[in-house]
Amino acid sequence: MAHVTNPNAEALLDKELPCLNAGFVRLVDYMGGDEAIVQAARVSYGKGTKSVNEDRGLIRYLMRHLHTTPFEMVELKFHVKLPIFVARQWIRHRTANVNEYSGRYSVMKDEFYVPEHGAIHFQSIKNKQGRSGDEVPAELRGRVLDILTSSQTQMYREYEQMLESDIARELARINLPLSMYTEWYWKIDLHNLFHFLRLRIDPHAQYEIRVYGEAMAEITKAVAPMAWEAFEDYILKSERFSRLELAVISERMSHEGLTVESLTAKGLSKREAEEFIEKMGRIKPSGA
């Protein structure tokens, strides 16, 4: 199979998508797209895929049945500029290749994340690691911003003073705050990128990392649009149910009118409709 490029992805190469007050996400390079997923699957499955005679249908089948290996054939490389506290959340995803800007070798830049007024919230009572939706008075928001900016200015001034005294960069940097920006190159395959995005564009994710996730989602859609559609349908916007929850659902459900024809009329493919009916058959209605 010849090397394939995607015009929409090519248009995004080296384009900075702004994030927060001074950050960005930039697509540096990509390898493969929807075609690479299909190619890998057909090598692996051989004759078994002949009944799935269309690329979109095959990709949706793979996503629906969690056959993840073909998605690993696609890779994306990003250049990201982000606050250090966001980077520390991000690096928990250990399935990527990362090379970060080093404060041991280079002077850290005088750039800090300062939240917008609308991003300042009280601590949530229900969620120990999140923010509440309650409105913060303008005076208090202003005080928070003053504390952040004055501390950032002071710590960077002291950092410069140590550098001017020829203190080693690896020591001078240690008091710099988590709000300082860093940069890295981050390369990951599509399967693991989908896992990252599922968690990081979720409404429960911290706002700051969600901004980066949404920018990367736009890039991912351009690189592999059919794979993104399948991810959105079967993972991102789907729901999971426990055994006990399924028992509750079974008490209230009815199979009346559940036919392949009725389901295809709602947009499902014939194969999806058949699989759905089979799935629903495993959830026995009450009294069955």
Which residues belong to the active site? 200
In angstroms, rounded to a whole number, what is the distance separating the alpha carbons of residues 192 and 201? 14
Pair of tokens at residue 204: 């429960």
Can you say whether residue 187 is alpha, beta or left, with left for phi > 0 and alpha for psi between -120 and 50 degrees? beta
Q: Containing H/E element for 81?
A: strand 75-83
Q: What share of the chain is helix, strand, coil (3-state, %, to 5)?
A: 50, 15, 35
CA angle 12, 13, 16 (to 5 degrees): 70
- Spatial CB neighbours of 197, under 8 Å, sequence gap ≥ 6: 213, 216, 217, 220, 231, 236
